[in-house]
Amino acid sequence: MTLSLRSLAEECGIWIGAAVGIEPLSSDGTFCDVLAREFNAITPDNAMKFEHLCPEMGQYNFRDADEIVSFAQVHRMHVRGHTLVWHRRIPQWLLKQDLSRDQVVAVLEEHIFTVAEHFRGRVAAWDVINEAVEENGLFQDSFWLRGIGSEYLELAFRWANQADPGALLFYNEWGGEDLNRKSDAVYSLLQKLVQHRVPVHGIGLQMHVSLMEPPDRQGLVANMRRFADLGLQIYITEMDVQIHNSPGSLKQQLEAQAEMYREILEACFSISTFKGLSTWGVTDRYSWIPQFTGYPDAPLLFDESYQFKPAYWALLDVLQSR
């Protein structure tokens, strides 16, 4: 087998993944080649969100998501489903309705069963809940919280487990990588869910980070460790590292970026329940970051021409040294 992130990750028994959009997957051959060669896990970036799957009331369309899952199956890759419950990307037809609590419960239950049963046996892990806690530690305001109350979290995990008992179920969050009010609140939430025997198997730490605001390494390890002590798997689900505005030449920025990737993967390996790391994209060519921040950036492992970046070699090096 040729040397790749994928081959080394498989020797280490971890997943190394990337988020993918339907556009490059269906139109960019190099993208597909690099994806299948370097990664053993795929997260659809948008194709499994509620609004994308069900733009019209009662009419699910799995075409894009199925195409991504088929690609994964053909190339023997794991699929991380993203995401069953989120406060964003809820279809307009649903937001417009004025529903009773029982009706919102019924909508959520039906959505989770429809989607998780559709992909049963093909999606190995689900981000069941995405981003349910705010930076101040309170629950994120949402259609689900307002309609059901905080019980929606527990219900969602139970329904996902009934719909696909074989899937690993994750709570996925951004900004709670090291020790802060948000990660404290997520910890309390997951501790309660575990105590109540709710089927939750892991925590996804998104890891959208920047050279200008690095996560605290000791805090990251302590945070991952406390979740692991609850018996939860740890997965870095959406890593990218912004370099915009950081000091030095581009070469220096890319080297600093590589060090950040290296440190984070090394920190992960100090945690016994570490399951895998996915980047939010394959190549800088299609990263969501420039559109979001308004600045050019280069946050991923491959540059716009699919050349290996120092960050790629840093991860390869960590995997090789295991």
String of b and e for 296-318 (b: at least 16 CB within 10 Å)? ebbbbbbbeeeeebbbbebbbeb
In the bound complex, what is the minimum distance in angstroms from residue 219's beta carbon to ligand G3I? 20
Nearest CB to ligand G3I, comparing residues 67 and 266: 67
| Cα 251 to Cα 5, 127, 300, 308, 309, distances in angstroms | 22, 35, 14, 13, 10
By the rule CB under 6 A, 174 interacts with ligand G3I: yes
Is 38 a catalytic site residue? no
Is 177 a catalytic site residue? no
Cis upstream peptide for 83 (omega within 30°): yes
The phi-psi region of residue 108 (left if phi > 0; otherwise alpha if psi is between -120 and 50; otherwise beta) is: alpha
N residues, the chain: 322
Span of 32-40, 44-52, 96-104, 111-119 interacting with ligand G3I by CB under 6 A: 44-52
Q: Which one among 7, 30, 87, 89 touches ligand G3I, defined by CB under 6 A?
A: 89
Closest CB to ligand G3I belongs to which residue? 288
Nearest CB to ligand G3I, comparing residues 174 and 187: 174
Structure tokens at 13: 């028994």
Q: Which one among 71, 152, 261, 288 touches ligand G3I, defined by CB under 6 A?
A: 288
Give the β-pairing of 208-210 and 202-205.
unpaired
Binders of ligand G3I in range 247-286 (CB under 6 A): none
Catalytic residue, from 11, 56, 131, 213: name it: 131
Structure tokens at 174: 């951004």
Binders of ligand G3I in range 217-246 (CB under 6 A): 238
Q: Please check whether residue 199 is in contact with residue 161, taking contact to mean a CB–CB distance below 8 angstroms.
A: yes
By the rule CB under 6 A, 206 interacts with ligand G3I: yes
In the bound complex, what is the minimum distance in angstroms from residue 121's beta carbon to ligand G3I? 24
By the rule CB under 6 A, 38 interacts with ligand G3I: no
Binders of ligand G3I in range 101-130 (CB under 6 A): 130
Span of 43-51, 160-168, 216-224, 261-269 interacting with ligand G3I by CB under 6 A: 43-51
String of b and e for 66-81 (b: at least 16 CB within 10 Å)? eebbebbeeeebbbbb
* Residue numbers at the binding site for ligand G3I (CB under 6 A): 45-46, 49, 88-89, 130, 174, 206, 238, 288
- The catalytic residues are 131, 238
